[in-house]
Structures are given as structure tokens and as C-alpha cells.
Structure 1
Amino acid sequence: MSKRNSAGKATKRPQTQHPAASDSMGARGARTGESDAEGIAGAAPSNTAPDNSKFIYQPLRWGVDSLYLSYPGVLSPDRVSQLRHLKSIAQGPDHEAAKAQLQLGSHVFEVKDKSSGLFAFTLVDGSYMIRLGAGKSKQLPMAYVQVSSQLLSHKGPMEIESELRDLLRQLGEVHAPKVSRVDLYLDFACDLSMEGWSREAWVTRACAVNQYAEDKTFTGWTIGAGGALMARLYHKLLECKKSGKEYLLDLWARAGWDQEMPVWRLEFQFKREVLVQLDLDTLGSVMENRAGLWSYATTDWLRLCLPTEADNTRSRWPIHPLWMAVSSVDWGTQGGPLLRSYQALRAPSLAWLGARTLSAYASIGAITGITDFDAAALEAKKHAYDVLGKQNGGGLSGVGDEQFFREKVEALTRLYNTRMNPALPPAPEPYQRNEYERQSRG
């Protein structure tokens, strides 16, 4: 049997199914140890799970959260020259750096002023971070691309890769990619305390097991940090509220989440070293073997167990009922709802900006005693204009305040990937000469 077959074929586990199909789940999750009225069975009594272990478990979404692809190929000489020019612009003053943009199809990329490692150029927008190699080294790919998690919440990886390759073809000769890293995840609502077990309950091939908390709130576990295979179990709802990933809350609600129960994420990070060992080189092979990867991670590499004091052989410890549930993801289904629309931007939403603008108006009203909305807006505009003048050096910068504001807008336009800024005017001759000097010198 090949390694791919061993990865693609799920190992045997207790026949406890927590199907993650939202159509059958309805608006609430199943309580383990019980038979749900809607037909969702919890953990059946067995020699691996105690009968009295009851908790609510509701799978919401699952799939690919992070994807890194390496594309063999060669940048065209014209693109190398263009990118070098744009990179030099990015290294200049802010008002010039705002012009360091490259449009490929509908994507408006920021060209960074520096890159990383052996890659010469870096392009970024809301969908992709693309690192490009300028040489012809066979060891270095033409492009190393990180796909954004929000884009992966809108489209499937195969469709994304097809569109990405079309973009890269505009830069040079490109071939089918290899997967450098893929993260598989499961988001689930659960009322079980995720700190209700000790470190020794994790039976794993990894060396490092770490737990985390912020203030007095437990935030999660990390197993195998820094390794070729790593696991994280963390408080995703808390992380979303801090990071502003509100789109996930809407997707969870569409999957039946009650918007109150904590949502946790179990995530496995597979680096290329592991994928090669499992004979999974291409994106297609990885996608076909997601069930096998999840099975390998949740049965062979890591298990959450119920420690038994009378038995020192950890491999014989009973499987925790929660682990029986999370290991039974149905990878043959879509994996929950997807975003209906998506823009490749890194801009905050107008609703987010509006909320903060309103807060600023109210604060100005509280300080000045203004209770009329329009009057508070005018007062805010006056103070904003005062700050604009100070940032412009009180008129000593050589440009007027209106031009200075335009330059600030263009800098954010580049950062947000919203549109192309006007190009820089042609560079003047190194030494301007008057007409007499030109004629006298021939």
C-alpha cells in the first residue's frame, strides 16, 4: 500500500458519527450521550467513552483555512524591469510610494518596498501575498503565494488556484503548483470547558504541548509548535471579536449557531515535509485526501484521552468523547456556508468607519456641549483640518493642505487595494538647462 493510500484511507475509529451537514443539524447541536429528536446521535456508550459524559457539540464549518502554493516558472524580463522600477518607487517618499501598484486582472496589488528571503519582489492585496523570484534558479519557485483565509471562505481551493494561475501567467511562464502548507480546520460550538483536562491528556507524537490564557480567560492549546505538523485548539469566537473577522460570525449563524455558545476551532497545520512523506504533492491530491489527513492527525499523531491512573500505558487510555466528535468530520460535504460576495481589499468596512466617526462626533459633542449632529460634524471637520495643517508642517512642506490630503488618500488607496493611483509624472532631466545652454552645447 502506498503512503498516499494510507493517508487517504481513514483509520478505524468508534462508529460515532457527528455529521457536520448543516441541513440535518438544524439550529442546535447534539448533546453527546443522547439521541437527538432530529436524528443526530451523540457518543454512544462504549468502552472508550463514559456514559455520563454529556455536553453540547455543534459542528459549524470545516475546510481549508490557510494555503501556501509554490509555482515553478520564470518571470518575463519585461516584468522584472517593471517590478524593479515599482520597488524603487516604493522605497521613496510616501507621496511617491503611493504609486507603487500593479494591476493584474481585477486585482490592484501593492508592490512592497522590500521582500523576504531570496525573493526579489512582494505583491499584496486582500486575496494574495505573492513573493516573486527574479532569477532562473531551479531551486527557487517563480512565485510563492499565500492565499487569504477570507478568500477561502468564499471559494474552494481548486477554483482559487485556477484563477491565481491565470494571474501569474501575466507575469511570465508558470507551471502547476506544489503545496507548501495547508491548514485544515473545524469550527464548532461547544459548552464543554476546554481547560477541563491536564496536559498529559494529550497523547501525541509531538514534544511541545502549551496552553494559553488572556487575563483570566482560557484561550486554547497548541501542540507541536514549530514542527512540520502542528495542532491548535483555540477560542475562535474570542479571536474573531479581537481581530474584526465579523464575517465568520455571520457564516456560523447561517450554520445554526445561536450566537451565544462559545465557538472553538481545531486546526491542523501540515507543512510540505509532512505532505511529501504522505505522497501528497499537488493541490488536487491534498484535496482528495483531506479525510485521510484529518484521520492521520486525529488518530495517529494526536489524541485527547481520559487519563487512567491504573494504566501507565497511555496508548490504552480511553478516547475523550469530544475527540470522538471532532475526529468524525464529514469531508465529503461542502463544509458549511460560504461568503456570498467578496472583494480583494484590505480596507475596513464603511460600517466600521461610520461607527467610529459617530463615536468621534459624540465625543466632540460631550466635550464642547454640542448636541446637534450637523454642528458636531462641522466642529469635527474644523479640528481635523487643524490637524491636517500641522501634519503638513504648517505650510512649510512645499505643498498645500489640499494636495497633502490627496497624498494621504493615495497612500491609503495603495494600502487598501481599492484602485490605481495616477501615475508619477515623467522624471525631469538630471540637470535642467535653458534653451541657450542646450543650443550652445549643440
Structure 2
Amino acid sequence: MSKNEPIQETADDEILFASQKRTDFVVDKNLTDVQGAPLCNTAPLKYNGTQILRSGVDSLYLSFNGDVRSGLLSQLHDKKALAQAGGRSGKAFAALGLAGIPFKVHAKGQNMHPFVISNHHFRMRIAGAQAGKVPPLYIEISSELLSCCGYESSVQAAREFAELILNDADSGSISRIDLCVDFTSPIDWQSIDAKRWRCRSNHRALYLESEQLLGNVFGQSGDVSARLYDKTKEIVKSEKFFFKELWQQNGWDGESSVWRLEFQLRREALKTCQSLDPDFIVELFNSLWRYHTTQWLSLCDINPNDSNRSRWALAAEWQALSEAKFTPHPVEDIRRQNFECVPSDETIFVGATGYLTSFMAKYEYESLAEALTAYEEHARNYFKSAENKHISFDAYVEKKVAEKKVKFVKLGHLLESEK
């Protein structure tokens, strides 16, 4: 798609949206050939009766920065009004074309985004002229596109849409990603002794679909949550029957129940990865999976001679799941990246400048140089006041620097000390 390609309007809304379940409703039929096959296990892993059929990304939410194109905003206003009128009259809903791909324009926005457009594979939230601090564009990519066309192809398609919607669009960052593994196993996962589960979250709930029990949810609504459920039952409700073909390609017998273990990771949970760039995160898929299946949630064998569950060994079936591979990249210990917690230059200088300008406004300094010179004197006088006489300004500075040296230890320094 060219950034300068005009946004096209569709002609016949009813025909375009007659089938919302079309599996061929993709951005570019050549994307799969260009970008490569979907991320999944090409050779099924069998271990203690557990067979891994595939691994991949089930959901992906991307945010993009830039300025919404004024011409598109005008169209969205008109289309949203048409959608609102159509909802009252029962007529076909409003449609918008981007590079020849039709999207439904919703009558209502979502949160801080007044415009929502969607089709079978994408759901996009677009900000108005006054976006404020929220990213002007959120794109949610469907599991079908991710599973059938692959992660890289799906991300590239989202980026091309972002270029059509935004002026100077960036490459996007991940707001949420769901990693999943589909497998068969002789275990009755519904009847496992609750004591065998070891989880960082104390919240556990049943996973219900239309009042049918499918599995369990761990850490629901948290920055990290996990779902373990019978996928063969779930697709009867969701109608995602394309998974059956993917499973059969990797050795599924067509009859055994296929279970899914899925981790939902939100932005806060991914911040330890140092970057939310989709091209960077993909290299950590194996590491993220290994960490969350061994350190965040795990199934253990009960050791009656040891009351400390943290020392119980992983169950063999869970060990097989934890070793699932998403990419050829090696597994790294992502916990070590938590030590690299030095604040960014943006955090330091933007924050410090904010406080400094407040100081200038309060004490009526016009010159930055003058304010910097006067700051120390004001600070010393503050620490000499009655309520702060227990510590001097110099002692306070020394104390805080010592604390920050510990808090902001650099990963490189840490590794050098281990040699």
C-alpha cells in the first residue's frame, strides 16, 4: 500500500458485509508468500503422552502514533452519522474502504476514540482531531489472520493500514499479545488437584462459554493472565474451524480433544522486555513462554515429604508444554532484564524540566541559568526549616544517590560482577 494512495469508499455495503466469516478476507493475498509461514511448531512434540500441535500468537493489539489524516477524519464523521442513522432505520450499516479493503464503520466509539472501524480480521480505534495523550490509532488483529498468515505478515498489514490512516505513522508498539499452545494430552485437566498448581496470582476462575465449562482462568483481569481450556469445544461456539486444518497438518487425529494453554500479556507485563517494538518482541517469544510456564504458572507433582511447593518438580506433561517453541531464537532468562531499570533520558529530562519550570514560575525567575544557580540555595533553606532539620541538604543528596545506585544498577555492571 502506498502512503499516498487515496482512501476508497465502497459501493455496495450489503454485499460486502453479507458474510462476516469469510476466511479469504485478508489485506493482501501475497502477504503469506512474501513474509513466510505462520509461527508454529513444524514438528509436533510428543512427551509423556502430550503432543503439541501448534504454537503461535492468538491475539495482537498494536498502538500507533502520528496525526490522523484530515481527509479521513471528514469521511469518518460522515460515515459514523450514516451508521447511527442506519441503526435507527434498520438499513445497511456504513462502510469505508482502505486500499480496497472494506471496513464497517461503527455507530459508537470506544473509550477516548470516537471512531471504530472493523472487518473480520481487523478492529481499529481512531482518535479525533484532539487525541490528547492517547495513541491516535489502536489496531486489534484477529486470531484467524495471525494463525493463517503469520505474525510478521499480520504486523506488516497493520503497519500499512496505519500509514493510510496517519501522517508520519511510527512502526507501532504492542499493547497486548496472547501467546498460545494447542496440544493433546491423556490428562483430565478439569480434575487436577488444586494443590498441584503454582501461580503468581491468587485469582483463579472457571472458564465458561454459554454456561458450558471449558477450563480455568488464572490471574483474570491482571497484567498477566492464563487460560487453560478445551479448544475443540470452544471453536464450536466461536466457529473458528480453521484451527482443525492447522492441527491436522501437525498430526491431529481429528477426534482427540485439543486443549489450549494461553497467556495474555499486557503492556505493563512486557515493559521488562526493554522494548514494545513488535520486531523486537518476536525474538523473545520463546523466552516469554518459558518464563511464564515455569515461573508464573506451573503444574507440579506433589511431594508429600516437602511442604514447600516452590521446590516441587514440574509435572512431566507441563514440562513438555514449557518447552514449546515459537521461533528459532534461543531461550533467554528474561528476569535478568529487570535489573536494567535505569530511567530513560526522556524520563529524566522531561520530568526534571517540569519541576524546574514550576520552580521558575513560583519564584519568578525568567532565566534558566539564573534559576539553576538559585535552586541550590532554595533547597538548602528548605532543608534548614523546622520540619526538615533532621537531615541536611547534602546528607539528603548523598542518601538518595546511594539509593539510586542500587535501584538503577545496570545489567552490564551486574554481569561484569558475576565473572
Shorter chain as denominator, the TM-score bin is: 0.5 to 0.7
Tell me if structure 1 keeps the 8 A contact 2:118–2:124. yes
Which moves more between the two structures, 247-256 or 203-212? Answer: 203-212
Distance 2:212 2:121 in 1: 32
Unaligned runs of 5+ in 2: 1-39, 330-419
Distance 1:331 1:67 in 2: 15
**Which structure is richer in relative contact order (CA contacts within 8 A, separation 6 or more)?**
1
Tell me if structure 2 keeps the 8 A contact 1:21–1:333. no
Aligned partner (choices 83, 95, 102) of residue 96 of structure 2: 102
Aligned to 1:167: 161
Aligned to 1:313: 308
Unaligned runs of 5+ in 1: 1-19, 33-55, 335-442
Tell me if structure 2 keeps the 8 A contact 1:195–1:218. no
| Letter matched to residue 96 of structure 2 | L
Q: Deviations over 1:403-423 (max 9, x none)?
A: xxxxxxxxxxxxxxxxxxxxx
Cα deviation, residue 200, structure 1? 2.1
Aligned partner (choices 231, 252, 258) of residue 257 of structure 1: 252
Tell me if structure 2 keeps the 8 A contact 1:240–1:246. yes
Q: How does 1:25-44 map to 2 (within 5 A)?
A: 25=44, 30=46, 32=48
Cα deviation, residue 277, structure 1? 2.7
Distance 1:76 1:86 in 2: 15
Q: How does 1:23-102 map to 2 (within 5 A)?
A: 23=43, 25=44, 30=46, 32=48, 56-94=49-87, 98=92, 100-102=94-96
Aligned to 1:148: 142
| Letter matched to residue 125 of structure 1 | N
Q: Deviations over 1:108-152 (max 9, x none)?
A: 000000011010100010110000001344511121111011001
Cα deviation, residue 325, structure 1? 0.6
Distance 1:213 1:177 in 2: 33
TM-score (norm 2): 0.65
Distance 2:173 2:132 in 1: 14
1:239 lines up with 2:234 in the alignment: yes
Cα deviation, residue 57, structure 1? 1.2
Cα deviation, residue 216, structure 1? 11
Distance 2:84 2:105 in 1: 10
Q: Percent identity?
A: 32
Aligned to 2:124: 130
1:111 lines up with 2:105 in the alignment: yes
TM-score (norm 1): 0.61
Cα deviation, residue 298, structure 1? 0.9
Distance 1:124 1:164 in 2: 12
After superposition, the Cα gap between the structure-2 partners of 1:215 and 1:277, relative to the gap in structure 1 and judged at 3 Å, is: closer
Cα deviation, residue 219, structure 1? 2.1
| Letter matched to residue 221 of structure 1 | N
Cα deviation, residue 106, structure 1? 3.0
User: In the comparison of the two structures, how many residue pairs are matched?
Assistant: 288
Q: Deviations over 1:141-183 (max 9, x none)?
A: 1211110110011222222222222222222312121100000
Tell me if structure 1 keeps the 8 A contact 2:46–2:52. no
Tell me if structure 2 keeps the 8 A contact 1:123–1:129. yes
Aligned partner (choices 320, 327, 330) of residue 325 of structure 1: 320
Distance 1:172 1:214 in 2: 38
After superposition, the Cα gap between the structure-2 partners of 1:321 and 1:265, relative to the gap in structure 1 and judged at 3 Å, is: same
Higher helix share: 2
3-state SS of paired residue (1:91)? helix
Which moves more between the two structures, 304-313 or 254-263? Answer: 304-313
Cα deviation, residue 279, structure 1? 1.8
1:184 lines up with 2:179 in the alignment: yes
| Letter matched to residue 268 of structure 2 | E
Distance 2:75 2:208 in 1: 47
After superposition, the Cα gap between the structure-2 partners of 1:304 and 1:92, relative to the gap in structure 1 and judged at 3 Å, is: same
Tell me if structure 2 keeps the 8 A contact 1:91–1:97. no
1:139 lines up with 2:133 in the alignment: yes
Distance 2:305 2:129 in 1: 62
Which moves more between the two structures, 155-164 or 115-124? Answer: 155-164
1:266 lines up with 2:261 in the alignment: yes
Task: Tell me how large the CA RMSD over aligned residues is.
Answer: 2.3
3-state SS of paired residue (1:84)? helix
3-state SS of paired residue (1:93)? helix
Distance 1:164 1:214 in 2: 30
Tell me if structure 2 keeps the 8 A contact 1:209–1:222. yes
Cα deviation, residue 229, structure 1? 0.3
After superposition, the Cα gap between the structure-2 partners of 1:271 and 1:215, relative to the gap in structure 1 and judged at 3 Å, is: closer
Aligned partner (choices 280, 283, 287) of residue 285 of structure 1: 280
Cα deviation, residue 293, structure 1? 0.5
Distance 1:294 1:182 in 2: 12
After superposition, the Cα gap between the structure-2 partners of 1:271 and 1:168, relative to the gap in structure 1 and judged at 3 Å, is: same
Q: Deviations over 1:230-269 (max 9, x none)?
A: 0111000111122221111111111110011110000000
Distance 1:129 1:184 in 2: 19
Distance 1:118 1:216 in 2: 33
